[in-house]
Structure 1
């Protein structure tokens, strides 16, 4: 895979904080299921639910 500009990567909005975040290599296989921008938001989002 060729290098891409960060602006060319897909983005989503965090389900907890509402801020946009971009695709990361570590989420490559699971991008469809990623809902939170960080572990902190993921923990807070699960606690609120």
Structure 2
């Protein structure tokens, strides 16, 4: 059986501006996910300390 992932919710990463889709590992806290990757999440903390 072939599954197509066209109906998954998406968000836009505020750091890099790329869109990212829902993942199963985020199912419990999808509302809290803001960044597409660990790298973008770390850049957020770097931006706060440099400002």
TM range (shorter): 0.7 to 0.9
TM superposition score normalised by structure 2: 0.80
1:28 has 2:27 as partner: yes
* Structure 2: gaps spanning 5 or more residues: none
- The DSSP-based 3-state class of the residue aligned with 1:15 is coil
- The DSSP-based 3-state class of the residue aligned with 2:25 is helix
Structure exhibiting the larger radius of gyration computed from Cα positions: 2
- The DSSP-based 3-state class of the residue aligned with 1:29 is coil
Counterpart of 1:42 in structure 2 is 41
* Structure 1: gaps spanning 5 or more residues: none
Q: Deviations over 1:8-28 (max 9, x none)?
A: 100000011010000001110
Partners of 1:43 and 1:29 in 2: how far apart?
22
Partners of 1:46 and 1:35 in 2: how far apart?
13
Alignment coverage as a number of residue pairs: 46
